[in-house]
Amino acid sequence: MRWYLRSKIHKATVTEANVEYVGSITIDEDLLDQCGLDIGEKVLVVSNTSGARLETYTIRGERGSGVMCVNGAAAHLIKQGEEIIVMGFELSDKPVEPKAILVDKNNRFVMYLTEKAGDKTPALA
């Protein structure tokens, strides 16, 4: 068994960082659906801006809002305006085809990305 990337939101912009909220990351429900992440699912969040990496879980954000809110203690590591990648993984005995999406600066879906073993650059789906 190995851990494989299953879901990815690439180049999202943090719309809010709320240290007062009890942990998690709030994500627009449209984006959750498009990349295959579930509510409450454990995710790895990586900041392209600061290099910070953290694990948390997803909370459903208002559909169509573009919300990408880092909550709780994680808000000390990743701030509003930072560019992030959100990734979900699956434990499997065979490779998993990831569902990766690229979003614009307003966290609106742009396109699906494909990543093949050995490729360094995602391609258009």
- Catalytic residue numbers read 24, 57
CA distance 73 to 89: 22
Written as six digits, the tokens of 56 are 């948390």
Distance in angstroms (rounded) separating the CA atoms of residues 107 and 72? 21
How far CA 102 is from CA of 19, 23, 40, 69, 114, in Å, comes to: 27, 25, 22, 17, 10
